[in-house]
A and B are shown apart, each in its own frame.
Chain A
Amino acid sequence: MPDLVTHVAGAYLVKRGVKITRYAALFYLGAMLPDLASRPLHIIWPRTLLASQAFHSPVGVFLICWLVSLFFRVDQRKRVFFLLIAGSFLHLVMDSGQKQLEGGYLWFFPFSMKTCSLGLFWPEDSVRFLPYTAIAVLIVYGFSKWREGREKL
């Protein structure tokens, strides 16, 4: 996985592109959800590494988003669910590019235990690229503020 700063930065760029204006915090939460549901478990209890991968799979993520949405008021549940799931799938797409020495993510779990990844970058490469990620976010932020200012005139 890339680090969570990169995941949130990716979510910010997508949010700007598709113009998510309401409840954006849920989209950001979704962009971190697969890692929040799985990583703390196996960092604290390393023996749960294999079990925690279930919560980083599309089916696991779908269930977690559904579960979280059920705690919201009934008229907001659909929106909450779709923002969480959109953020989570963006997360999984970003993760799919990384290389693994052994194994990878369980995309088709629980129907198949096959792992796959595109093998474009190592998990820690995102840390080295953080300055460039920050520059990209600042450019998009600056451009959108400039455009908002022009529209107000």
Chain B
Amino acid sequence: MFSDRYRALKIVGILAVLLLLGWYAHVGRGVVTLDLCLSDPERFDGTEVPIYMEARVIEVDPGCLRVSQPDGPLNLIIPPRFSGLVPPGATMEEIKPGQSLAAVAVFRRPGYLELKRLRVAPLRQVKIIISIFPAVIVLILLIGSIRWEKGRLVMKEVTKVTKVRSD
């Protein structure tokens, strides 16, 4: 597993398997999208459609939430007496344009999405920004402790030097 035997083949093989896994995760989960529902509204009526974290609030109206997401802007109809806001106790008034959100909507004939559950994450951008710092620090630590030797990376051995008092 760790020997130099067939090393290049192992590297290419692992990369190929990782690519395959990525492709399988993309196609194999069978996630329902709005486009899929619109292709057969009769069949998908009442089906849950997930809207993931890379979506952002564009506008909040009393009966409609407009969000941007990778496939383009989306209107989510807010049903009367909507109670799917997470965490419990949160109010629609707290939702502001630009905030990240995750939601689950229900597809309704002939072709609209009704909001079922909604979670807004105003701290998501902060989390991403502060996550850059430890990544940079660990990268600097690694650069300081690794050297390049005969086509291989080598971890430098750190030896602790203890001072001995002579008096």
Interface residues of A, Cβ cutoff 8 Å to B: 3-5, 7-8, 22-23, 25-26, 28-29, 32, 35-36, 39, 42-43, 46-55, 57, 59-60, 63-64, 66-67, 69-74, 76-81, 101-103, 106, 109-110, 113, 122-124, 126-128, 130
Q: Is B96 an interface residue (CB 8 A)?
A: no
B128, B131, B153 interface centre (most CB from chain A within 10 Å): B131
* Across-interface contacts of B22 in A (CB, < 8 A): 48, 51-52, 54-55
Residue of A nearest to B51 (CB): A102
Interface residues of B, Cβ cutoff 8 Å to A: 1-4, 7, 10-11, 14-15, 17-18, 21-26, 28-31, 50, 52, 54, 69-70, 86-87, 102-104, 117, 119, 121-124, 126-128, 130-135, 137-138, 141-142, 145, 149, 152-155, 157-158
Known contacts A8-B138, A36-B135, A113-B29, A73 near B153 by CB under 8 Å:
yes
Among A69, A74, A78, A101, contact of B4 (Cβ-Cβ < 8 Å): A74
Please give the distance in Å from A64's CB to the nearest CB on chain B: 7
Residue of B nearest to A49 (CB): B52
